[in-house]
């Protein structure tokens, strides 16, 4: 998959299907847009282009900047996994936010991307003051001979799937429901850093990832997880928090990988979250912490034993 983060290096040399959106989380609704784009591209012999923005528009013009469901690296991985040909993250600035919908349509979508087909969700807005909506987009499509597909919101148990809804579910620790709407596990991907190595001394060595301040995280606590490393998947238990028992000061993501003893410093790992075990707590002693972790491990094993198709209930 080709990737661009630029205002200049996005020009395409042949017509394409363009999917428009922020795609935070790459949830089931986004996946439906990609599916339609792939179908149209296959019928017409075109390539698929995902057109997104960075930074998130709320960071530039919003009063309440949104924390993201996934990092840029995670999003790129997911878009590629879903079979798209090109991902463009267009730099979002106040100057760009001020352009008219028609200027965006003509100068970027047509002149630079050579869009022949556009795919958007029914709640997509674009251009200055959000004047551009799907109906406006269809009108421009007729004027400039660009086919426009507006896809209705995907529902999950009578609830509309949206990044905002999933964000709230994760913040309140409802991991299973968030995963249902995402269509994949909530994940944290990062490179392993060296920690205090306390876990190693008590029989539960951990891999450590630094929390990204721009991400949304579930409540501090212990979770049943799966860890992908070296193209293999292992069961794990992950603690998000500050390690109050040993007076930790930095928020970390610490994962004990079951039946795994290799050193992974510097390696990229993916931690997938399935089930909330317990909140983070401060113990009176290291021995009490060790005993609780043993209980947590048994709980994790039981959860995955009871799971269906590898998805924890």
Whether the predicted pLDDT of 311 surpasses 80:
no
Q: Return the minimum-mean-pLDDT range out of 51-55, 84-88, 198-202, 268-272.
A: 198-202
Beta pairing class for 207-210 and 186-191: unpaired
Are 20 and 49 a contacting pair, CB within 8 Å?
no
Q: Which token pair is 134?
A: 């799907």
Query: Catalytic amino acids?
Result: 254
Under 8 Å between Cβ of 118 and 146: yes
pLDDT in tens, 171-192: 999 999 999 999 999 999 999 9
What is the reported pLDDT for 310? 47
DSSP 8-state secondary structure symbol assigned to residue 105: I
Of 247 and 262, the structure prediction assigns the larger pLDDT to 262
Pairing of strands 207-210, 252-257: antiparallel
Q: Quick one: DSSP state of residue 285?
A: S
Instruction: Give the H or E element holding residue 26.
Output: none
Least confident of 27-41, 146-160, 192-206: 192-206
d(CA 7, CA 108): 9
What is the model's pTM?
0.88
Q: Do 236 and 255 contact (CB within 8 A), yes or no?
A: yes
Going along the chain from its start, the domains and CATH numbers come out as 14-156 (3.40.50.620), 185-305 (2.40.30.30)
307 or 295, which is more confident:
295
CA–CA distance, 111 with 123 (Å, rounded to integer): 25
Q: Is residue 273's pLDDT more than 60?
A: yes
């Amino acid at each position: 998959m080709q990737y661009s983060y630029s205002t200049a290096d996005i020009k395409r040399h042949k017509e394409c299907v363009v999917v428009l959106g922020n795609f935070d989380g790459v949830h089931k609704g986004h996946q439906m847009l990609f599916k339609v784009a792939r179908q149209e591209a296959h019928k017409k012999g075109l390539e698929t282009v995902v057109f997104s923005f960075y930074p998130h528009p709320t960071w530039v013009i919003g009063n309440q900047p949104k924390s993201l469901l996934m990092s840029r690296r995670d999003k790129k991985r997911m878009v590629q996994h879903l079979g798209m040909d090109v991902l463009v993250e267009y730099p979002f600035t106040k100057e760009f936010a001020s352009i008219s919908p028609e200027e965006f349509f003509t100068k970027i979508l047509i002149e630079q991307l050579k869009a022949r087909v556009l795919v958007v969700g029914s709640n997509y807005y674009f251009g200055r003051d959000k004047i551009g909506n799907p109906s406006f987009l269809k009108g421009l499509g007729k004027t400039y001979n660009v086919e426009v597909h507006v896809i209705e919101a995907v529902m999950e148990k009578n609830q509309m799937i949206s990044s905002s809804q999933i964000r709230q579910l994760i913040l309140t620790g409802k991991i299973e429901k968030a995963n249902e709407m995402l269509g994949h596990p909530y994940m944290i991907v990062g490179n392993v850093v060296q920690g205090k190595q306390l876990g190693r001394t008590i029989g539960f060595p951990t891999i450590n990832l630094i929390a990204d301040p721009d991400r949304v995280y579930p409540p501090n606590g212990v979770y049943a997880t799966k860890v992908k490393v070296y193209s293999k998947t292992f069961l794990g238990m992950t603690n998000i928090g500050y390690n109050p028992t040993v007076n930790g000061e930095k928020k970390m993501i610490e994962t004990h990988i079951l039946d795994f003893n290799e050193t992974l410093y510097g390696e990229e790992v993916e931690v997938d979250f399935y089930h909330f075990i317990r909140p983070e707590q401060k113990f009176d002693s290291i021995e009490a912490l060790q005993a609780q972790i043993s209980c947590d491990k048994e709980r994790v094993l039981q959860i995955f034993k009871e799971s269906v198709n590898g998805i924890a209930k």
